[in-house]
Structure 1
């Protein structure tokens, strides 16, 4: 959070003249015709530790510079913009850049000045001179190393009256309670800046005694006001749809967005002619912005509390201070709820218990909102990170589901439920938090069902995901998870009932849900991957390949897709392409799964490279000692290579893994017969029949069984099993 005051003074069309040196209004809009010159300053890092750092001031400045290069911002060229941030933004350099503006600005030119950083007054005296602090401003003597508000006003006046230019000034100036102005400095700074520019159109990010917030939830790290200011000017504020942003539209947009997203801690102030034109909307830029914002997941993030929080705590008694310190420590240690007690934290109160005490402490009333916000952020942090990583198909996140069965998600439902209860039902994030709570409950049930082979859990998981959709019907990840649940129900039906009508219904439901997920998040790879996998197991190779190619065009690093492509080319007997894809998978993740080595072994086997095939099969069983198919393939390979001892050993391993599969018994019978052990071969054939072997023609005609068929034991076997066949 940017603590204390965050001003934006915007000189707009139709200025009222100041009492001393007036500023001529900008005609038209920011994007009006004519030569433009811009100075953009953003300072987060200050040279002296006595001036607290900000987090995102330099980023806000960079985003404003990007806006100026957009069509809505006037399409300025790089040589029209001078941008200085952090260590470049010394007092000398800032003044030099202002001199540059005085040199280059001509009649009817547009001059745009943007400042984001600390603003302060040196002391809370009756004169209250205002300063915008440079990177190298000394914290105890602003006058010798800061930009004076008086100087800035004089420069603006010269630009207007001497150069005959049109001026736009934005100051995004925040001050901390630790600066020289002291405890009343925030209000004093607001007054100083306001007086310098009174009687002119003003836009301020918040009231003088409010916090101006910054955090990760706004564009990954921005000031809330700057974030929505640029969005609004780009076209989000275009209420009447006339492709022009006027002051009254921006006023409504900011007052809708900023208070709601700051728990009503921050209220912008806009004053001036309501129909003043600010920017022209470009349809393409607006469409791109809307798509980008729709793809972002609304969230809370922690806010900075520099200076002001310290002052409030200093006024509280020592017991309260100790409890507050314990609360902060509990958040850092993720000791959120009493259920979180572990070996590292067996004593003391949880953050929830401490919050309940501190939230009714009158001496901390000014911090209550921030405490609640930071607690809510901490409660949903891990679940939000997991969802974000899942939406990026992050391999580590995918492995958490595939291999760890979601162990790290266990507490997420309780955390999200607590976060929702803290915010209350009227909060704009309440429904989304409840939706995520049900989503994680369903996900955990599905993963537990997979882990324990408990089919009943899948139905419970499905009910949870349906509840999640009731609270957020446009969450792509919920539709995708429902598809995953139906996938498990599909597999269970195949293994237990093999009801074809039900199988068809479950298959279609999976396709529908994964399509829904792609519809709500068209650039998310995972739903395409899931559909591609379905088409693959249903032998619809063209459809599978098409989806894999779409997904790979979105993210070429996804090895799961390359695994599918290897399967598709292998089924088409395009062995070289299959081999290339399998090798790509192994190169990225050698531990991807044992199947990739088994399949690559099959490719080598089909192309006559038996030694390489053996190496791949052995790698498969090294990774999974119960991998039935790999042992089965080894048995065949050793049989073809006439290594009968190893072939028998591999088939015996298959029987140890799955004694009900009849094929390994038949294979051992063939090997025994080839070794001249006809009676033993018949014994293995009898075991194969007992396990349901039905390939009678193989027994009667396979040349490998000639020795077996010449024995008396076989004739008895034949009477027993083939008299009626």
Structure 2
């Protein structure tokens, strides 16, 4: 077989995008009417519920077991490839060594699916289809070191058959029927009938599948194995991050590069892809070299290079989606989805007609819009993503988040329910659904939903943690504590559960226990501002420990000067301890950061009054009144400021305006008394 006719994808090469690319650009594009197409797949396999039916999926290197409908290759696709899309070739051979391979089903090539105007002269008698699937639809495919050092039982005996072991009549040839019978019998025997290969297509007794006089495949000997099912799908293997590469600063353009040697350009292009410089804005960018190659290579050569870039882009974009599937376990930021958008957009530009890429691009755009609080646009984009690929659970989940952010809880719940239906082993939409149910006041429903999510994903920290928050909100302290402790067991190093347990103890008046848990939270994460803030708040209740509390708030502000709760509490504590000058400074920083913060302006004005600065105090009160012009309290303070400056008429005017706005008898009595004094 000429090397250009063969594509081999193993380990980290065998991503979903790379496999689909090989099918589209190699099998479909290259195979002609006199060719034989041979497809061999050895991988993980799993069944996964989709719309109430168990469907088979081939698990690629970058698949996420929690949502195979979005990250695996449906076995239906293999069926369709051979039955509908490769019927213009002479022979079709298929070998699949995955669990539940029988889900691919019987394949009968449909010649009516071929364009009648295509130039072909094959008839149904000309085309031959033959394949063997490793196992029936409900079976796992066995593998182990005893099968030639680590092959699957099916793969091992298939190779033994092709090496000549199936040539029972010793005529130097392995026929199709000999191959099928040998693999079927030997796999059943070696696996104690736990695995039965499934033959598809038609047996042609005369068809030679191997010539035993030719060199075969080197295999270790077979020993009676200890049976082991194919590897677990519960853990996602992660490849190494691309190495950091120093960027070239020289300006490179396709116009200047296109005159260079094509082989050198190809190498620079492939180096850029390997180094991760795959976005158009990167410097140097693989796109720059690809643009130059477009005028130096033959069309088919250019398409082959462009496909390498498209696969790399799609793989990077897929990593964003795989992280999203982890939910709050690995929180994502706006930049993550913005990067995913860039990868999918660049890939889509190389294949403009790809609905697959368009749906993922649109999803990432919708998630960016949520971070931008542009919820109307987010809804539009995520609804479009759903329409482009209605089987992807994560698009429904994103749409539900957009509804949730707008407090449209009913539609949010429906969207999360749709997400959970399409990805029934994905806990994240159930978590979001529980949040929406709780906001609606359906606390029992929220609790049941969390319990269902925990049953699906018992080792995910954020599920019992958020259930604990819900129990604490409902004053079910014992249940809250049990949930927090369960979260601690799952992830002892996560400071959030320790902080939450501290707040639970503080609410119960058990200050010693609260302090212990807050400090343990900080031991696990010294950057956890909320835990340090809560500890300071707890200590500030004791006058003797107010200095410790102030030091903790200052520590927070040294780490994040914009942490408003720490600055407000520090200012309040300083004022209570009589340190008005420092308190005024802290309140001044709050007002500078948040000019509309009325409470801070009033507190600063009161301090200015105590410090003998009535003009400054009056300025703060007047600014506060502009924000809340119907406040009797602020008008009363303005009147007091005017009186302190000796402006009696202005003081009386302010009191008179305050009087009808006062809502309680005490305030009205106080204002009338002040007016009497000004007569």
The normalised TM-score by structure 2 is 0.49
Q: Which gives a bigger RCO, structure 1 or 2 (Cα 8 Å, sep 6+)?
A: 1
The normalised TM-score by structure 1 is 0.46
